[in-house]
């Protein structure tokens, strides 16, 4: 056929009737015009501007179920896929697009006369654009299999794979973050270049594989990755230092709202900060520097109060740090944050007033991450190979066992202790954390001697340790750290236990009348 081949165009007379028109169009396979689009998404981020632009371009939008209702509520006309399949949704919506009328329109090769003859014989509509993403299985991690199973997507991965396979003719968008790039690249001719279609297909195959792997690892708790995909998606300016090359590989589930390009170190610290606050169901905010928290506050809803309390813990170290919170950044919080030099702010949401304030700091990176979740496994290079381990999860509070005499702490104090233990998990070993009133007072991190970490934590606390709870990520090997607490008014000490000298440490706490609790669980972090 050369550059002349038949296109099938669905020409709507009304939402309920249509006719098929065949004609010949001299369009190169490198540049494909967008005429018919299939849109079926669970994540509806960015859907309205995408569909409005498609409608402006005269694209016929076919959609299903909740997506169709959402687009119609925007005042944008759509066609239901049932018009093509002549089959209603069935099995509670489990079967909608799994139909030859849909997959034939995606997989047909426009330069194969045999394919086009079948398209004509079966009265199929050819799709040039497929916009699909997955049911949010990741939002249901830790639940029972019966609760998780409804959120395993079948049609979505199948549609994405089909469109990706036929990327010579079809554009696939499987992530809302790709919508703006698509609209920009297609704006001039309302058509898409082959290079863009190939890039979207590559990224989509990666997303499908990660989605399936996520389900497998959730169901097979002991599963370790058999293959690490290090295909670079985004090149970074450099690694930890300017002479080191670096790249980030993955799928953007977060959005960079403003600021400079994220660096290698920014990404590491952003991960550390986000993981820390994700351990708290109540309001929490952490300030991270070089992989360690320098201030953490929790237990209140106001992001402004959380920030000021976290900053109070160590304002000097917070300079140039990374802030993550599980609460929205409002105008008051933004005003406080803008007074401090910081590299990155991470929040599930930034209020418009906050964006206006923080927008004046052009280099400050703002990351909006509504529902953070993290890889189950951590991978590091070691001895010419790879170390792989499960991430250190905090699923529930361990049993805090009192090993000294005297009354147990109140439930409020135990909750305070739980917060200290959560923070301790995210501090480089050897780790010592002092907390009071749901706020860190001092953190000692990364020392080769535990008593050195204690000294740093005490120094950071600036004499405010009266009534504080002290947590250690691993056992005290000697009683010297406990002896150092004499006369400080420490309310309680928490540590895993397990040392050959546990009895000496217990005896030291008894002498100082400091309640000592064991967790039987440690949190080394190297």
Burial readout 11-46 (b: 16 or more C-beta within 10 A, e: otherwise): eeeeeeebeeeeeeeebeeeebbbbbbbbbbeeeeb
Sign of CA dihedral 301, 307, 311, 317: positive
CA neighbor of 296 nearest in space, from 463, 353, 282, 475: 282
CA angle 394–230–47, rounded 5-degree value: 75
Indicate the SS3 state at residue 436.
coil
Alpha helices (runs of H) in 360-467, residue ranges in sequence order: 411-424, 450-461
Sign of CA dihedral 349, 354, 356, 362: negative
Catalytic annotation, residues: 165, 290
The CA distance from 217 to 225, in Å, is: 8
| β pairing state of 234-235 and 432-435 | unpaired
Residues facing 433 on adjacent strands: 443, 471
Query: SS3 for 438-482, per residue?
Result: CEEEEEECCCCCHHHHHHHHHHHHCCCCCCCEEEECCCCCCCHHH
Sign of CA dihedral 104, 132, 252, 298: negative
CA 69 to each of CA 35, 147, 513: distance values in angstroms, whole numbers, following the listed order: 21, 25, 66
Structure-block tokens of residue 41: 């998404």
Which secondary-structure segment (H or E) carries 325?
strand 321-325
The CA distance from 172 to 487, in Å, is: 67
Decide: 412 and 511 in contact? Cβ < 8 Å.
no
- How much of the chain is in helix, strand and coil states, percent to nearest 5? 35, 20, 45
Q: Residue 59 has what DSSP assignment?
A: P
CA neighbor of 38 nearest in space, from 96, 87, 116, 114: 96
Indicate the SS3 state at residue 119.
helix
Decide: 420 and 494 in contact? Cβ < 8 Å.
yes
The CA distance from 521 to 16, in Å, is: 64
């Amino acid at each position: 056929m050369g550059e002349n081949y038949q296109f099938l165009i669905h020409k709507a007379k009304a939402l309920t009737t249509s006719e098929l028109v065949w004609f010949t169009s001299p369009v190169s396979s490198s540049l494909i015009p967008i005429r018919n689009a299939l849109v079926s998404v669970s994540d509806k981020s960015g859907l309205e501007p995408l569909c409005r632009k498609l409608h402006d371009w005269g694209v016929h939008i076919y959609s299903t179920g909740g997506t169709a209702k959402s687009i119609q509520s925007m005042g944008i006309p759509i066609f239901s896929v049932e018009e093509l399949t002549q089959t209603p949704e069935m099995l509670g919506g489990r079967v909608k697009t799994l139909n030859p009328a849909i997959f034939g329109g995606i997989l047909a090769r426009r330069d194969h006369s045999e394919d086009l003859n079948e398209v004509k014989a079966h009265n199929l509509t050819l799709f040039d654009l497929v916009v699909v993403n997955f049911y949010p299985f990741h939002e249901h991690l830790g639940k029972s299999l019966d609760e998780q199973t409804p959120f395993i997507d079948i049609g979505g991965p199948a549609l994405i794979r089909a469109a990706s396979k036929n990327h010579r003719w079809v554009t696939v968008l499987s992530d809302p973050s790709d919508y703006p790039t698509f609209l920009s690249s297609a704006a001039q001719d309302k058509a898409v270049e082959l290079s863009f279609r190939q890039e979207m297909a590559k990224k989509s195959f990666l997303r499908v594989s990660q989605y399936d792997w996520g389900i497998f690892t959730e169901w097979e708790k002991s599963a370790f990755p058999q293959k690490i995909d290090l295909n670079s998606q985004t090149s970074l300016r450099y690694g930890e230092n300017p002479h080191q090359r670096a790249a980030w590989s993955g799928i953007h589930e977060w959005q960079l709202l403003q600021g400079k390009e994220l660096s290698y170190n920014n990404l590491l610290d952003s991960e550390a900060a986000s993981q820390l606050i994700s351990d708290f169901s109540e309001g929490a905010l952490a300030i991270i520097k070089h992989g360690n928290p320098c201030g953490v506050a929790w237990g209140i809803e106001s992001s402004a109060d959380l920030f000021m309390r976290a900053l109070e813990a160590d304002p000097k170290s917070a300079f140039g740090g990374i802030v993550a919170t599980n609460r929205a950044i409002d105008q008051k919080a933004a005003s406080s944050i803008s007074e401090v030099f910081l590299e990155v702010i991470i929040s599930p949401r930034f209020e418009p007033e906050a964006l206006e304030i923080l927008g004046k700091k052009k280099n400050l990176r703002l990351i909006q991450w509504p529902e953070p979740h993290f890889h189950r496994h951590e991978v590091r290079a070691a001895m010419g190979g790879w170390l792989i381990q499960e991430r250190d999860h905090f699923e529930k509070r361990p049993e805090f066992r009192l090993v000294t005499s005297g009354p147990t702490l109140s439930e409020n104090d135990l909750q305070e202790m739980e917060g200290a233990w959560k923070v301790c998990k995210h501090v480089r070993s050897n780790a010592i954390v002092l907390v009071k009133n749901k706020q860190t007072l001092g953190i000692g991190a990364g020392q080769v001697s535990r008593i050195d970490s204690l000294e740093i934590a005490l120094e950071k606390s600036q004499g405010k340790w009266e009534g504080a709870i002290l947590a250690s990520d691993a056992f005290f090997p000697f009683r010297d750290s406990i002896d150092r607490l004499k006369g400080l008014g420490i309310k309680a000490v928490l540590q895993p236990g397990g040392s050959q000298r546990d009895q000496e440490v217990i005896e030291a706490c008894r002498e100082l009348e400091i309640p000592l609790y064991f967790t039987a669980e440690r949190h080394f972090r190297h």
